[in-house]
Structure 1
Amino acid sequence: MALHCISTVSRCCRVQPLPLSAARAGLPAVQAALITGRTMRGGPKSWPRPPWPYKEKPYRGLKSFFDTTRSRWDENTRLIVVDGPIASGKEEVARALADEFEMQYMPPASADLMYINDYGYDLRQLNERLPHKVQLMQVDDFLKNPYDIRMASFQITWFEFKLSQYIDALAHLLNTGQGVVMNKCVLSDFVYMEAMCRAGFVSRGARSVYREIAQNTLVFMLRPHLVIYLDIPVEEVKKRVKARARPLEVGSPALTDGFLNAVEDTYKNSWLKTISEHSELLTYDVSKELIVEHMVDDIEKLDFTQYGYNTNKMEDWGRKSDDDWDSWRTQYTNYKSHLMMNMMVPRFDVPELLGEQEDMKIADELINEEAPGQKYRYGFNPDMGDSVLFKLGEGGKYRDTTRY
């Protein structure tokens, strides 16, 4: 059985501001062209409408007639991604921009998103009892031994984490009107798969499976309004890694010159060129100095509404009716598991992505039968204190990845 298919199944189965009079009348908001920060406004922003409580209530049916998606939009309803190589200062920049523009900050995807279940049990505690090839992996394992046979399934699993978080970012933006600043995202994840393949950590066959999964899933994702790329040469990356002295990074066999050069090359010669066709792109050399105030000034000058129908830029955000936006909002809010199931690619020609039947049986019994809270959906596990008598509904619990 394909390891990436099994892991996916197990998890999935379980802008001119609107005039005040128009906002009160419930008319669709018209976004201003320019993002405005707290400093330019001279104080905190006001919201057109309170956010829809999408973490507690679904959005479907008649609700769309009385709660249109664009009624909450203003000039700062934007999706911004801060990206760049290791140790380039992404967290500092993303947090500062989110604070200045009063947007939601989303940290990098974490293994905790998937490995800690809704009852707080960490499935990684089972690793010692799991066969090597089906153990639950994290970045530490990559840094220790990038040549491990599990590296291909690790990178595909990490794509899954990032995809889950990206869907949540879109759901948050469409349900609240609040912009989101992400520290990296799933759209640039292929940079690392490509670098791992070039460095010899994974096979070309595994890369082909990854590409097929990406093609199946990313077609349903709206691309960001703005990408900020923090440029830093490989030699400076190595200096910063050494300076911050994280035990697993220093001397790691994964962070070789070949791998780091492949990351830089793929970013600059592939991803940035592609994403700039659809999103605004700002690039900064941060090898010597990082001044967020300059970035804020540059962002506030960007006109996101200047592009017409003869260009691909901003096409994801500018060519939809109210009904279209309500449909996209419904999809990201209510049908995340359906979107995630597009990762199911039945490929059985890549040995490193295949598990032995006996190993898969052991993993299934441990993870889905013995682990606390894993046998049934959240809210339907009597052994965890859940009352199931006369309980109706689908169950489930919203995993708040926007604040992880």
Structure 2
Amino acid sequence: TETAGVRVVAPGNAFFKKGAASCAACVHTSPARSLRYGWLAYALGERTTPRLKHHSKIITVDGNLCSGKGALAQKLADKLGMLYMPEADTFYLDRRTGEKELLPVDFNGMCSLERFYAEPKAADGNSYRLQMWMYTMRVLQYADALEHLLTTGQGVILERSPFSDFVFLDAMLKEGYIRKECVQHYNEIKGISICEFLPPHLAIYVDLPAEEVHRKMTQSGQNVALSYLKGIEDSYKNSFLPLISETSELLAYDASKAQDVERVAEDIEYLKFEKGPWLEQDDVTFHHMRMLVEDKQRVSTLTHIPKFLPEITIGAHDYDEKYYAYKSLPGKKYAPGYNADVGDKHIWLK
């Protein structure tokens, strides 16, 4: 039995209403049903390419911890009129589904980033559960970014992506935080999931030496091994950058130069974006991509396979216990809009 991690994810663009281009109003008969994009919309003439403009791009900003990539991504999004999506964390799913309070970790991957920093070699497999859960969250976020781009035409800038997530896995293996079997499982999951998505148009790398990252993190009270940070840096430079440059444009800056947003924006304007699978797309392929990325339940299942691995597997009795514990939470017994315990009204009319 796989870990009780993935929950039902509501479809649609409601998560991006703030700060994003507006979407067409939905026609609905109840809170649980809405008119979404689908084959009928395509048959009636709905097309993606007419709304794609010069800045209709997916841009990812990568770098080591505390490298300043978040500040660059946010300022660059403001400069270019694009949507900024901060880096996904372990509670990304809660924020996307609009939870009033973040749910316990039992319903969010059964992992903890804080515990990873304090006990990276935990015997219960927290480190790999964290890595696998974060990959799932990044896949969901990337699907959200693609959906937003294809639906509205507005470009998106993200911090990291599922395409760069493996740098942490490499560093964990090098430090002995995870087993080789975990790497095999991760690569199998990645092999059947990441191929379903188009890569970013542009990847920006912010280079800050691991020694400087370690100093900054130590000053902020975070105890992270220098060798682990060095492993992340090495994986970025030796694996990710050569790999992503095959399909995406690539810009790299040291941390000080990355603060010059005007220069970065100017460099982007000079790029011709003449490589990668985006050049091969048309309205038919965009239609199929939109059908995939708007179905977040389908997206989430791409990161789960029926394979036993102690780090991410729980027994049937534990799974049953967690399932009913989740269903007993306020507003979780029935579909959204049908739970009287959280104030839903006129349920019998829906």
TM-score normalized by structure 1? Answer: 0.75
Q: What fraction of aligned residue pairs are identical, expressed as a percent? A: 32
* CA shift for structure 1 position 241: 1.8
d(CA) in 1 for partners of 2:269 and 2:80? 10
* CA shift for structure 1 position 326: 2.3
Contact 1:118 1:378 in 2 (8 A): no
Asked if 1:342 corresponds to 2:318, the answer is: no
Report what 1:300 is aligned to.
Answer: 269
Contact 1:151 1:202 in 2 (8 A): yes
Report what 1:80 is aligned to.
Answer: 59
* CA shift for structure 1 position 71: 1.2
Contact 2:52 2:153 in 1 (8 A): yes
Q: 1:356 aligns with which of 302, 312, 315?
A: 315
1:321-359: CA deviations, max 9, x gaps? 2222222223222x22112212221111x3222223433
* CA shift for structure 1 position 360: 2.5
* CA shift for structure 1 position 161: 1.1
Asked if 1:385 corresponds to 2:339, the answer is: no
1:248-277: CA deviations, max 9, x gaps? x1xx2xx21221111111111111111100
* CA shift for structure 1 position 53: 5.4
Report what 1:233 is aligned to.
Answer: 209
* CA shift for structure 1 position 233: 1.1
Change (3 A) 1:135 1:162: closer
Asked if 1:59 corresponds to 2:37, the answer is: yes
Contact 2:61 2:159 in 1 (8 A): yes
Report what 1:284 is aligned to.
Answer: 253
Q: 1:139 aligns with which of 83, 108, 113?
A: 113
Instruction: Please tell me the residue identity of whatever aligns with 2:337.
Output: G
Segments of structure 1 that go 5 or more residues without pairing to the other structure are: 15-48, 308-312, 392-404
Report what 1:120 is aligned to.
Answer: 100
Change (3 A) 1:208 1:53: farther
d(CA) in 2 for partners of 1:13 and 1:159? 19
d(CA) in 2 for partners of 1:144 and 1:76? 42
Change (3 A) 1:363 1:373: same
Q: 2:329 aligns with which of 371, 380, 385?
A: 371
Report what 2:136 is aligned to.
Answer: 160
Contact 1:123 1:371 in 2 (8 A): no
d(CA) in 2 for partners of 1:279 and 1:337? 27
Contact 1:80 1:182 in 2 (8 A): yes
* CA shift for structure 1 position 57: 4.5
| Partner SS for 2:110 | coil
Change (3 A) 1:289 1:341: closer
Asked if 1:325 corresponds to 2:286, the answer is: yes
Change (3 A) 1:53 1:153: farther
d(CA) in 2 for partners of 1:199 and 1:188? 19
d(CA) in 1 for partners of 2:36 and 2:117? 40
* CA shift for structure 1 position 54: 8.0
d(CA) in 2 for partners of 1:58 and 1:220? 21
TM-score normalized by structure 2? Answer: 0.86
Contact 1:118 1:373 in 2 (8 A): no
Instruction: Please tell me the residue identity of whatever aligns with 2:207.
Output: D
1:147-194: CA deviations, max 9, x gaps? 222221121111111111110000000011111111111211111122
* CA shift for structure 1 position 380: 2.8
Instruction: Please tell me the residue identity of whatever aligns with 2:276.
Output: M
Q: Structure 1 segments of 4 or more deviating over 6 A?
A: none
Instruction: Please tell me the residue identity of whatever aligns with 2:2.
Output: A
* CA shift for structure 1 position 202: 1.3
CA RMSD of aligned residues (A): 2.6
Instruction: Please tell me the residue identity of whatever aligns with 1:105.
Output: Y
Change (3 A) 1:54 1:342: farther
Asked if 1:170 corresponds to 2:146, the answer is: yes
Bigger radius of gyration, 1 or 2?
1
Change (3 A) 1:139 1:220: same
* CA shift for structure 1 position 383: 2.5
Q: How does 1:175-214 map to 2 (within 5 A)?
A: 175-214=151-190
Contact 1:83 1:228 in 2 (8 A): yes
